[in-house]
Structure 1
């Protein structure tokens, strides 16, 4: 019996004229995301990854998003390939009818997922520097004169996928923080200075010999330079709570990331962007506890710690990441000694 995802993969192959639909073999659904159906399949001697946008995301809360976002994601991958050919993903075409596209299935002995490496506390391979540097390069390229923005006027999609579930919804859970959270939401919605990926998370970053590969750019839009760095750093801070034995390394990597990213900014704009990151980061911390997409690996005790730290940082914000990290470190050392395990 043919599954729905297999039917869609065959339709995609037909639409893109990649081969005959009946040549599609070994269709395997892939996990890891909530916004799309993703599968790998074999076709004429090569393995292909297909991705189809979903109208309703696979989370407990009622969370919908327009399926045309798939076009922006494909355009973002094309842009990234031009900026960073070494980390490019081979693209095989997109079908508007299927709201899906085909790309290479990235695999190999040197390929690993950054999230997996962090959670198993693998030896550092300087991934943070590579990721921060690539993100800075991509943003700088999108801010350069002549950058074509037509594919990325997607602020309403970004609001549906990021601003509302992370900030606006969380403001309803914490009404005392609503002025701060809604203010950040308005800031993000109004911005259009650089191209924002929208999901720069360790679960969406593969590492291979040529460096990091960013995937899952469904939220791609012109927006604020602070969002992607804050979104990525949030995952490092959350894992510092989850993995006390790696705390010093993870919290130290915040400065490493900032320095690698900031080298692509001038001093004045770098300071302003850092201040916005420092304001946004605790909001995202709180959103991964009480928003529509709660982080899955934290214990209830760790969730309470993150919630308390985030609220404190939102009520008394910092403008520099070093000060923010210092407060996080001091709080964790007080509440959760490094010898404690929360796994």
Structure 2
């Protein structure tokens, strides 16, 4: 099997498959990948991304996953290209034997939205487009039997999200098991729309007025409330990390949630919001006590704040984002974080 983490091997592979010509290419590896080796290969005429799934993820915990999940990403990127072409890089090539996908690269001028947010740069036009892209995917694939059949496999979703996130949280907080089991049952068994599974600012690149949605390897046909909860969790965590700007983060969180909820056509918005908020509580706990903790939530008080709010959401059966924001603001005030 080819190993694209070795530059010479990567370039030879691309040459043999007719993906590049000549030798005047530079290779830049991205070191922030948890689940794959990712490299940009470019010269003055061409810029592509090569991505190969890892058998063991780059986290402290023992976390393995079948490398054939890369085919899921290739298929999902193709589907996204049909629905929201302006928001994704174009797929180019897939090698099933070596678990290698090649796609168009976003411009070098692009930046990770997560980095902008952590610096306190909150662009609501980016937030609006991100919410629009997500609602468009969910609306257009809801009830689509062809898409449902193509993405019926949920093994990777279980391996990469349910077990390391929710089930690991329950091992730390066993009192949540009964409630968590109901959440897991719905996430694993409800078939509503195409779910991204990793929709976050880390996986959205921004280049002027264009977005690039990336990393679709956890895509499956399931419950889209997972995506809204996963996405909005990142604004909760950043409000805790940079509590001096908490009000701005929560304003953006509310803007995203309401923009998305107003756009959906496949579910009752209030019921859907209730479900998303309950799932959100587990995402919050997972980034503290799961297998993939948020690298920027390191302070013990910050962790306690996240846990306190998550438990309140579950205990009070919070049904809307207003409840989440009010509780988070109250806990931050009590902790004198701002």
TM-score range, shorter chain: over 0.9
Correspondence for 1:82:
82
Question: In structure 2, what is the Cα distance between the partners aligned to 1:268 and 1:99?
Answer: 36
Larger CA deviation: 153-162 vs 207-216: 207-216
Correspondence for 2:30:
30
Q: Does 1:173 align with 2:191?
A: no
Question: In structure 1, what is the Cα distance between the partners aligned to 2:320 and 2:186?
Answer: 19
CA displacement, residues 145-191 of structure 1 (integer Å, 9 cap, x when unaligned): 46433431221110001000000111111111122223212221112
Change (3 A) 1:143 1:16: farther
- Residue pairs, 1:1-343, within 5 angstroms: 4-10=5-11, 12-14=13-15, 16-19=17-20, 23=23, 25-42=25-42, 45-109=45-109, 111-145=110-144, 147-266=146-265, 269-298=268-297, 299-338=299-338
2:263 counterpart SS class? coil
Question: In structure 2, what is the Cα distance between the partners aligned to 1:336 and 1:200?
Answer: 31
Question: In structure 2, what is the Cα distance between the partners aligned to 1:4 and 1:320?
Answer: 44
Question: In structure 2, what is the Cα distance between the partners aligned to 1:254 and 1:118?
Answer: 12
The answer on whether the counterparts of 1:171 and 1:182 sit within 8 Å (CA) in structure 2 is no
Change (3 A) 1:3 1:77: closer
1:207 counterpart SS class? strand
Give the CA deviation at 1:313.
1.9
Paired positions, count: 335
1:23 counterpart SS class? coil
The answer on whether the counterparts of 1:226 and 1:277 sit within 8 Å (CA) in structure 2 is yes
Question: In structure 2, what is the Cα distance between the partners aligned to 1:3 and 1:135?
Answer: 31
Change (3 A) 1:122 1:230: same
Question: In structure 2, what is the Cα distance between the partners aligned to 1:93 and 1:26?
Answer: 20
* Cα RMSD, aligned residues only: 2.1
Identify unmatched segments of 5+ residues in structure 1.
339-343
Give the CA deviation at 1:124.
2.6
Correspondence for 1:341:
none
Question: In structure 2, what is the Cα distance between the partners aligned to 1:190 and 1:268?
Answer: 16
Question: In structure 1, what is the Cα distance between the partners aligned to 2:140 and 2:267?
Answer: 18
Give the CA deviation at 1:211.
3.0
Question: In structure 2, what is the Cα distance between the partners aligned to 1:68 and 1:151?
Answer: 15
CA displacement, residues 258-298 of structure 1 (integer Å, 9 cap, x when unaligned): 22112332495222211110111111100100000001111
Q: TM-score, normalised by structure 2?
A: 0.92
The answer on whether the counterparts of 2:142 and 2:266 sit within 8 Å (CA) in structure 1 is no
Change (3 A) 1:7 1:142: farther
Question: In structure 2, what is the Cα distance between the partners aligned to 1:147 and 1:264?
Answer: 23
Larger CA deviation: 77-86 vs 196-205: 77-86
The answer on whether the counterparts of 2:166 and 2:180 sit within 8 Å (CA) in structure 1 is yes
Q: TM-score, normalised by structure 1?
A: 0.91
Larger CA deviation: 304-313 vs 52-61: 304-313
CA displacement, residues 97-144 of structure 1 (integer Å, 9 cap, x when unaligned): 2201111221244x2211011011125343222211110011111115
